[in-house]
Structure 1
Amino acid sequence: MLRSTLASGITIGALASISSAAALAVTANIAAASVNRADCRCFPGDACWPSANEWNSLNQTVNGRLIATIPLAAACHDDQYAAYDEERCSELQNSWLDPETHLPSSSSIMAPFFANQSCDPFQPRSAQCVIGTYVQYAINVSDVTDVVNGLNFATNHNIRLVVRNTGHDYNGKSTGAGALGLWMGNLKDTEIKDWSDKHYTGKAIKVGAGIRGGEAYKIADAAGYQVVGGECPTVGIAGGYSQGGGHSALTSRHGLAADQVLEWEVVTATGGHILANRQQNTDLYWALSGGGGGTYGIVLSMTSKLHPDTPTVGFNLTFTSAGIPMDIYYEAITAYHAALPAIVDAGAMSVWYFTNESFAISPITAPDVGLSELMDLLAPFMDKLDQLNITYTHYFGQFETYLEHFDTMFSPIQVGIAQYGGRLIPRSVVENNNTALTEAFRFINENGGQFIGVGVNASLARSGFPENAVNPGWRDALIDTTLTTPWNFTAPWEEMVANKDKMTNLFIPKLAELTPNGSCYLNEGDFQQPNFQEVFYGKNYQKLSEIKDKYDPHHIFYATTAVGSEYWEPQEDGRLCRAT
């Protein structure tokens, strides 16, 4: 991964006032990056990089909605963007882990490894503040015309193009050095509509690409419905989340997010504005529904199933390892995993966390499951805790609606606190090799990793037998395992790199031993995952590659570990060059 020694790029602010060629000058320390290779994307400092007049012209074409990047944390440094502001910097440091801090920005991202300390609020005042790995410019997209104009500009000038929404992506898909971003976050139109075809008849919701999960939940709730979205309410529902599959607290009841999609509204790499559904452009519909975001086309809106709202039961439970032999502590965790099949088969979903020090179910979500039924399902596990003399706290809650449950039981999710990797654990492993699975998790904990589990039933039967590109590994998975290593903003960078390598070379191989030819949820995987094509996409990869080539014949779209990403090879300075 590059370090942020490349130049800061543009010195201007909101681009409504671009007027000066001097203001657009690229600083001189990109000399090492200025080689203009014909097989590379044009990069700041290259002779081919657009002039001030050309950027001005694009800004006029998109009616003043072009934004030149000013790093969000510029106030924390002595830099060309803003004067050092100690009070503002302190505010940023205190709120940097909150998604809401980054959402209003057209360039900021929430994955610190990919932000690459380009302009880090936790680094000393004297440290660099450069554009670095952030997009150089972004268009605040308001309609299809903005998308087409941005696409044409990037194509004509051979510039890297990034499709970005909230900046949540763990693997840096929503940023890129030297890129023009298409910022979809303000496409907020919604419509509740009737849908009828041979596959589905019922209510549906059409959401603009910028609608976040929490917004969709409120809209659906007001009309008496549920909609499948993520556990973090600030994640965009129509972006890489649903396009990558999308697990949800409602998955065991209704399926994955990709299983809900009825139609995509898309701008293709050649500028076509089309609909993709089960009647037209069916191959693109198939690919977008689970085959990963940012690589087949630019999604303007998504239409998905709505489900009648139901009462929802929630459950939390916590205990610690204090005063408990570690063998007993992990025996209790093994017991919870043994209880999962019955829980998810009843339509409930579980999120749980554990380290060597503590275990927490937070929460179980059980839509349309009675309180007594959920209590019965959990009784064997809780009885086991009593037998092991483990003291625990727990809570059952009954809620009239799914939204009420969600707002009460799900805690805010911080960002920028970890690096990620994962594995889908088939039900058969838990049923037949549960003790070995726990030992693998224990090994990971003892060596500095942390575990987050999502227990679901996303089987074809549960999901309504959808025809889509969801990784087949989801269909027999019981546990979506997310492994993390902690991120420390003030630790040496080399230590964070070592943690990432530990994920790749030590932790995930431990689970791979138990799941040969296994799978991973592509949105929560390790970007260094060997053979990511097989692990993230399964048997679908070849077909997805063919669809990619059809709709993006010149490979305009690139994203880390996305289908077709092997066509490009990021260089040390961040530029994209064709792989050799």
Structure 2
Amino acid sequence: MQDLLRLFFLLTASSALALNESAPRCRCLYGDACWPTTSDFSSLQSQISQPLIYPIPTASGCYPLSSPSGNCTDIQANSYNGTWRADRPGSMDIYNYESFIFRNGSISACYLNTTLGVPCEQGNVPVIGVDARSVSDVQVAVKFAASHNLRIAIKNTGHDYAGRSAARNSFMLWTHHLNNITLNSTFVPEGAPSTEIYNAITVGSGVLWNDAYNAVAAQGRMLIGGLSAGGSVGAAGGWLQGGGHSAFAPLHGLGVDNVIEIKLVTAAGEYLTANTHQHSDLFWALRGGGGGTWGVLTSVTYQTHPTFPITTVFFNATATNTAVMKKLFTEFVRIHPALSAASFGGYATPANTSLNLFYNLPNGTDSRANASFESFFGLANNLTAEGLEIAAQETGTYDSFDQWYQSIFANTTGDAGIVELASRLLPTALFAEDEYEAFADKLFTIAGDGIVWNFVSGGAVSKVDPESTGLNPAWRESLVEAVWGAEWDEGATYSEIERSRAELAATMAQVSAIMPGAGSYFNEGSLFEPTPKQTYFGSHYDRLKEIKDEYDPNGLFIVGAGVGSDEWVDDLNCRRSD
């Protein structure tokens, strides 16, 4: 049947092209004459289960200054709390994306810092939307957006490092309250033989990882998911569609390697089940083709795994002498292939004057962990004579994933802020015995104040067939995801923001010179990548674009640097004329 459908789409491609050519070249935005009328929105309201929402920027309750409309004390106290922000449709975890920069450099924003004396404006926050509580709500909202040619923004938690879940003067589809969780130890995917059985969890697209972990922990299980302060990342949205990394991916693979089935609403308003047996082409694209591109996910089913004890290695050292730190960094790079072979994974922040890490060994012991780090610890202790100061060098043992997670992530909240990222997937080949010293030397020269060093690939990630999912094949050839960031103060001018962006771009140009053609993580990359097709999708882009054109021929779902976005001008509101 799928082959017949593909043939149908091929035969009707010319008709679809004609439709695209006759369709409006620009989206209808709030303030345009084409914007839906009050009557239109009343009709929409009559078809959905909840009142229409009118998202506002996070700090709106602090304005007007003479008589604030909300509890400003509460807003400012919770401004760095990602879970608190997730409950508010207009809030972004990375809150620079609540602001909008015009072509002339002026900025529309609503700042938490009320002393700046800037009036509160809507910025980049959508103006109206649907609080979806059912598949029907999603279908109605999608059809409404399509029929009125609206710019649509799909948002769950707002934990989004590229701001893809917000858009100025747009229509929001808020999935945060699609939060059902179902555990099934004998799950069989739709269309699969009865012998294909998984111990699984199905999560609605509004479920946070914190809640998903708690659900499986009660059964002595764990699953591969996002790890962030307070667990505020959504379990069934952009994290998965971008690839989905984890400190335990080297043991069990990435998120895209653990998903069994996805249910979604397409641009045509159809409710589909995608797995390896039904709509397998779409299932392939959803696993790595980028969030906000293929449809609105309503639920995702993941396989779960038996829990296991974890031994975590903690290390923290500083040195004012960069030559000393460079020696330690070189050894740090050298040991990674062996750590990967042992299924270690985790996070580090190497810099010119410091190195912090916490790496995790599943099913490990203190003695095994210490043996894996023996040469590194030995060098570190020897370097104390040259000025290295070791603040922490220890291991901690946890009985289960849940105990580890509760100890390190569950009760923390401070993950919101202002930042733009760029990243590279560091190829495993550069860690080889005859390459690592030169590689470490070059990388250290541009480490500066620090690299976010996510040791989340290699191991099981590298053993998956690169063609089995739509994920950039560069993931299968990498050992580490390295991330750099640009930051600025709230209220910064356009020129100050551009200066920070230029510094980030210069750093990434240096990184690219070390590893030409290296890939990047779609969820933690830059919107200003010079070659986003190659960097984010690699050799899979052309196939992804074919699938995109099949399921979304009119480009209803378009996001920054996503599949098909090159056909739109920079603000993604109008198609290119060429």
* Equivalent residue in structure 2 for 1:115, among 83, 89, 98: 98
Aligned Cα root-mean-square deviation (Å): 2.2
Amino acid at match of 2:363: D
Structure 2: how far apart are the matches of 1:53 and 1:493? 39
Tell me the equivalent position of 1:169: 160
- Verify the 8 A CA contact 1:123 1:490 in the aligned structure 2: no
- Verify the 8 A CA contact 1:235 1:241 in the aligned structure 2: yes
Matches within 5 A, 1:487-502: 487-502=488-503
Amino acid at match of 2:348: W
Tell me, what secondary structure is at the counterpart of 2:346?
A: strand
Structure 2: how far apart are the matches of 1:458 and 1:546? 29
Amino acid at match of 2:507: F
Matches within 5 A, 1:392-411: 392=390, 393-410=392-409
- Verify the 8 A CA contact 1:254 1:463 in the aligned structure 2: no
1:53 aligns with 2:52: no
Matches within 5 A, 1:275-424: 275-322=273-320, 325-361=321-357, 363-389=358-384, 390-392=388-390, 393-410=392-409, 412-424=413-425
Measured against aligned partners, the alpha-carbon deviations of 1:377-406 in whole angstroms (never above 9, x if no partner) come to: 011110111121233112311111101112
Measured against aligned partners, the alpha-carbon deviations of 1:14-71 in whole angstroms (never above 9, x if no partner) come to: xxxxxxxxxxxxxxxxxxxxxxx94211112211111222222222221333101232
* Equivalent residue in structure 1 for 2:130, among 139, 142, 161: 139
Cα shift at 1:500:
1.4
More off after superposition, 494-503 vs 395-404: 494-503
Tell me the equivalent position of 2:548: 548
Tell me the equivalent position of 1:75: 61
Tell me the equivalent position of 1:225: 221
Amino acid at match of 1:315: V
Tell me the equivalent position of 1:106: 89
Tell me the equivalent position of 1:577: 574
Structure 2: how far apart are the matches of 1:413 and 1:343? 30
- Verify the 8 A CA contact 2:179 2:203 in the aligned structure 1: yes
Tell me the equivalent position of 2:512: 512
5+ long unaligned stretches in structure 2:
1-22, 100-107
Cα shift at 1:328:
1.0
Tell me, what secondary structure is at the counterpart of 1:484?
A: strand
Tell me the equivalent position of 1:11: none
Matches within 5 A, 1:195-206: 195-196=187-188, 201-206=197-202
Structure 2: how far apart are the matches of 1:252 and 1:412? 26
The alignment covers a number of residue pairs equal to 532
Tell me, what secondary structure is at the counterpart of 2:203?
A: strand
5+ long unaligned stretches in structure 1:
1-36
Structure 1: how far apart are the matches of 2:414 and 2:515? 29
Tell me the equivalent position of 2:445: 443
Tell me, what secondary structure is at the counterpart of 1:174?
A: coil
Instruction: Indicate how the Cα distance of structure 1 residues 153 and 340 shifts in structure 2: closer, same or farther if over 3 A, else same.
Output: same
- Verify the 8 A CA contact 1:289 1:468 in the aligned structure 2: yes
* Equivalent residue in structure 2 for 1:84, among 51, 68, 75: 68
Alignment TM-score, normalising by the size of structure 1: 0.87
More off after superposition, 368-377 vs 136-145: 368-377
- Verify the 8 A CA contact 1:76 1:125 in the aligned structure 2: no
Identity %: 28
- Verify the 8 A CA contact 2:198 2:303 in the aligned structure 1: yes
Structure 1: how far apart are the matches of 2:238 and 2:286? 9
Structure 2: how far apart are the matches of 1:433 and 1:420? 27
Structure 1: how far apart are the matches of 2:62 and 2:445? 39
Alignment TM-score, normalising by the size of structure 2: 0.87
Cα shift at 1:152:
1.3
Amino acid at match of 1:507: T
Instruction: Indicate how the Cα distance of structure 1 residues 141 and 291 shifts in structure 2: closer, same or farther if over 3 A, else same.
Output: same
Structure 1: how far apart are the matches of 2:513 and 2:266? 40
Tell me, what secondary structure is at the counterpart of 2:173?
A: strand
1:95 aligns with 2:86: no
Measured against aligned partners, the alpha-carbon deviations of 1:174-228 in whole angstroms (never above 9, x if no partner) come to: 0011211111111111112223558964301111111111111111111111110
Instruction: Indicate how the Cα distance of structure 1 residues 157 and 83 shifts in structure 2: closer, same or farther if over 3 A, else same.
Output: farther
Tell me, what secondary structure is at the counterpart of 2:302?
A: strand
Tell me the equivalent position of 2:145: 154
* Equivalent residue in structure 1 for 2:25, among 34, 39, 45: 39
Tell me the equivalent position of 2:478: 477
Instruction: Indicate how the Cα distance of structure 1 residues 412 and 356 shifts in structure 2: closer, same or farther if over 3 A, else same.
Output: farther
Cα shift at 1:465:
4.2
Measured against aligned partners, the alpha-carbon deviations of 1:476-526 in whole angstroms (never above 9, x if no partner) come to: 21110011123321443421221112212x111111112112101111011
